[in-house]
């Protein structure tokens, strides 16, 4: 496959993908929500992934491991470790390996403590959006999840091979999105769980697609895409955007440097290290942009121009609210930990 022309690279860089793609807007919104959630739950000592699992299991009334993998976007091994930790803590019940994972009475107490906090955060996130528009947005998002599952099936049919995909692509079939349990506070109207499922479903097929067409693993294509999109970008900014720890990002950057796809240089009076793509990295990034554009076109194929405009407008409104929520969390005193939200882990991002 021949590489994109210099004009293609220039065009891709001149029009940020985070503004062109529906999928990129969804991911950017989720990063903001997770950053504010980290601050809101900073006093709880509850790992982010464990908290998500307890919340999801409670909302859906029990989930299998495959459903948890699909809904969170995490790998099977990460979910297994988190489930084991929750089991040791006595927060879940699991009759058998293939049976749905349920909350124990202690786990339900944790979920009940989380519910008002999560509902309060959602109320701030959807502020100013009419209920009818929100319902339409969430219904459209669920339709997009179906399209994302179809995209995953097509990518696997083209050529999923374990020896090529490596450990970062699970050979799982994505299950249909389950229905939340009836609840007077309508958790089915919450934005974050639905968009997280959409992002997770898209990530599964993206890993197969980018590996096949660029040779990059899941984490390295994610890092190169952020560098290409935001270059020059500092290491600290890359860590924040990727929502991964410093050591993971550092290893990926070193690999990209060794492959001749990224470079680093001093900036701001030699205080900061700025990352940028090399010529080869820009060519690969342009290829990735074209792949992402095709995938987004497929995802939104059922959209009319008006429906796409309304969906994107709602995403932008949610993003503005998420930015405001993050700003408030940054200036608010840290909340006192709730005794019912507990964990044995020392790392809030263990398993992430």
20-30 residue pLDDT tens: 888 889 988 99
16 CB-side CA count, 13 A: 10
Mean pLDDT, the chain, integer: 80
Distance CA 274, CA 97 (A): 47
Residue range 122-150: mean pLDDT, rounded: 91
130 forms beta bridges with: none
Q: Which one has a higher pLDDT value, 120 or 337?
A: 120
262 touches 222 (CB < 8 A): no
pLDDT of 204 above 90 = no
Distance CA 150, CA 334 (A): 42
pLDDT score, position 261: 92
Per-residue DSSP letter, 275: E
pLDDT score, position 270: 55
Residues 285-326: tens digit of each pLDDT: 999 899 899 999 999 888 888 888 999 999 999 999 999 999
Distance CA 257, CA 262 (A): 5
95 touches 107 (CB < 8 A): no
Residue range 209-238: mean pLDDT, rounded: 86
What domains appear along the chain, each with residue ranges and CATH number? 6-40+126-331 (1.10.10.10)
């Amino acid at each position: 496959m021949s590489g994109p022309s210099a004009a293609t690279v220039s065009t891709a860089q001149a029009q940020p993908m985070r503004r062109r793609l529906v999928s990129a807007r969804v991911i950017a919104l989720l990063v903001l929500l997770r950053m504010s959630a980290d601050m809101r739950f900073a006093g709880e000592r509850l790992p982010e992934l464990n908290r998500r699992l307890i919340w999801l299991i409670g909302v859906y009334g029990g989930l299998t491991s495959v459903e948890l993998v699909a809904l969170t976007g995490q790998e099977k091994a990460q979910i297994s470790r988190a489930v084991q930790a929750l089991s040791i803590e006595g927060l879940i019940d699991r009759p058998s390996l293939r049976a749905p994972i349920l909350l124990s009475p202690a786990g339900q107490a944790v979920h009940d403590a989380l519910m008002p906090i999560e509902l309060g955060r959602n109320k701030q996130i959807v502020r100013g959006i009419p209920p009818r528009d929100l319902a339409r947005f969430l219904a459209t998002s669920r339709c997009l999840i179906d399209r994302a599952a179809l995209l995953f099936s097509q990518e696997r049919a083209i050529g999923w091979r374990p020896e090529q995909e490596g450990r970062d692509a699970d050979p799982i079939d994505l299950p249909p999105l389950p229905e939340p349990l009836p609840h007077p506070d309508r958790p089915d109207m919450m934005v974050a769980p639905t968009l997280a499922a959409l992002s997770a479903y898209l990530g599964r097929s993206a890993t197969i697609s980018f590996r096949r067409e660029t040779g990059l693993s899941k984490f390295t294509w994610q890092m190169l895409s952020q560098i290409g999109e935001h270059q020059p970008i500092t290491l600290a900014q890359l860590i924040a955007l990727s929502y991964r720890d410093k050591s993971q990002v550092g290893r990926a950057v070193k690999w990209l440097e060794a492959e001749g796809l990224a470079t680093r240089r001093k900036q701001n009076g030699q205080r900061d290290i700025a990352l940028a793509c090399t010529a080869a990295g820009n060519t690969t990034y342009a290829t990735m942009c074209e792949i992402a554009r095709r995938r987004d076109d497929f995802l939104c194929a059922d959209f009319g121009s008006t429906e796409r405009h309304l969906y994107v407008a709602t995403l932008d409104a949610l993003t503005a609210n998420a930015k405001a929520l993050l700003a408030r969390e940054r200036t608010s005193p840290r909340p006192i930990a709730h005794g019912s939200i507990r964990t044995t882990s020392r790392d809030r991002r263990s398993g992430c």
